[in-house]
A and B are shown apart, each in its own frame.
Chain A
Amino acid sequence: MSGAAVEIIRTKDEETETVARAVYEHPLPVRLCHWLNAISLFIMVGSGLQIFRAFPSFSAKIPQKDLLHWPKAFAIGGWLGGGLQWHLTFMWIYIATGLVYLGYELFSGNYRQVLFTHRDVPGVWPMVKHYFLFREKPPVREAYNSLQKHAYTTVVVLGVLSVLTGLAIWKPIQFSGLAWMMGGFHRARLWHFLIMWAMLLFVFGHLVMVVLHGWNNFVSMLTGWKRDPEY
């Protein structure tokens, strides 16, 4: 269900003239969750990379083979203990935001406009051709196209997995079943790391699209109202 169109009318000497259309695209809970999540994801990634700096490897400790040396300037917390403080504080905000978002989407029915289903499969290829091969844009009929739905659904799944892998690392004994599903403590740490990069890939694509789609699109995530929608 996309937001309903609203006509904006400018009154001019008792005469009315339609100048723009606007759509209420993002309900308040979605906007709140979006920005809380943007901040907490930023902190989780920054502090997570700080923690990673303490042992930048996924093999044995002796002999230690480092995977990559992440610069301190792009990490949050200053030292391992600081990184852990940020990570263990914001994980609660990150989890709570995710739960509120999922709960809202489910109970409001809003999920219907972002959830990727089998009906969206045929729309993916034309959209890929449009974005990556500069082909003609398929007609826009709803707020989100198939590829967008795919991205938004995938990133929610990744978000859930980031929490589950994180819990498996934090509590490999109390959540031993979870750690087992991830292939053990060791693998869970690797999954947690890979999931972070997958989410960063989403964020990169997301930001590129925000820039390409301009101001009105960006403002709608702040006010809920999108002026001059394409559909």
Chain B
Amino acid sequence: MTPKIPDSNADSKIVDSKIDERKFKQVNRRELLKLSPVIALGAFAIPSLREPLLKQGLGFSDGASARLFRSGHLANTFADSDLTPLEEFPLNGYDVDDPGVILENWTLTVSGAVRKPGEYTLAQIQALPRTRQNTRHVCVEGWDVIGRFGGARLSDFLNLIGADPSAHFITVGCADDYYESLDMATAQHSQTLLCYEMYDCPLTREHGAPLRLNVPTKIGYKQAKYVTDLKVTHVLDKVGYWEDQGYSWFYGL
């Protein structure tokens, strides 16, 4: 009688066959070896490979985020009764430090791929149509609040300064050395605001007076406060304060 090794590759519907002990061990060894692709995940256990691999993973997620972003799809807006009271709108610890903005002298410095670079006053931004919206602010930590934000659409401001429509990014610099960047699709989104009001009052210092970003389609750390510089650019030279420490860049909600 010839021992037959079952073809375990095919499927579970194997006909009765007879094999000897030695052959059985051989089959088992071969089957075990077929699991070796799982060992590839062990690369994450090697310290020198871990960081680049996780960076790739985060980059892949960001790529997927950018693809999932729909320009015409709006973030939910809420009734006034759903608003989190302003005094319960959380602040980061370092927002208690005064970044030293002198409101009377404040201007927004515009540079990069724009037709009209230079200094823009708050009055020029406030002269643009005002949008007020009750939207959800989601922190990367996991909490969320509903806030009321008012300001000019960033897209209107980009028109005002003659931003190059083929540019891919907007970067902002802040009085407290914070910095952030946005993809152009998000910058042009109708709910993305140059925000100078919260709860219908001018921004208080803790919330980024006189100007902050309000981007309801993005995570909290994208909503830069104390904005002083805005640059339209083809190449992203400054990514973002938290991004440079390892957080996601796109982080669209």
Contact = CB atoms under 8 A, between A and B. Distances in A.
Contact of B12 (A2, A32, A54, A222): A2
B31 interface: yes
B21 A19 contact: yes
Given A6-B17, A35-B35, A173 B252 contact: yes
A62 B26 CA distance: 63
A69 B21 CA distance: 53
Interface stretch (A7-15, A123-131, A196-204): A7-15
Interface stretch (A76-84, A144-152, A157-165): A76-84
A89 B43 CA distance: 13
Interface residues on B, range: 35 or more
A116 interface: no
Interface in B124-162: 136, 138-145
A209 interface: no
B8 interface: yes
B149 to A, nearest CB: 15
Contacts of B90: 61-62
Contact of B252 (A9, A20, A31, A174): A174
Nearest to B246: A81
Interface in B40-63: 41, 44, 53-58, 60-61
A104 B61 CA distance: 26
B233 to A, nearest CB: 25
Given A85-B57, A92-B57, A6 B6 contact: yes
B16 A5 contact: yes
B245 A81 contact: yes
A88 B248 contact: yes
B11 A173 contact: no
B129 to A, nearest CB: 23
A222 B141 contact: no
A27 B139 CA distance: 44
B14 A61 contact: no
A7 B21 contact: no
B83 interface: no
A16 B19 CA distance: 11
29 contacts: A2-B12, A6-B19, A7-B18, A10-B21, A11-B20, A19-B21, A24-B8, A27-B11, A39-B41, A52-B142, A54-B142, A55-B141, A55-B142, A60-B143, A60-B145, A62-B90, A81-B246, A84-B247, A84-B248, A90-B57, A110-B12, A171-B65, A172-B136, A172-B253, A173-B73, A173-B76, A173-B253, A174-B68, A174-B252
Given A219-B28, A222-B35, 8 more contacts: A6-B17, A60-B88, A61-B90, A62-B90, A85-B246, A91-B61, A173-B76, A223-B29
Nearest 4 interchain pairs by C-beta = A89-B57, A55-B142, A61-B143, A54-B141
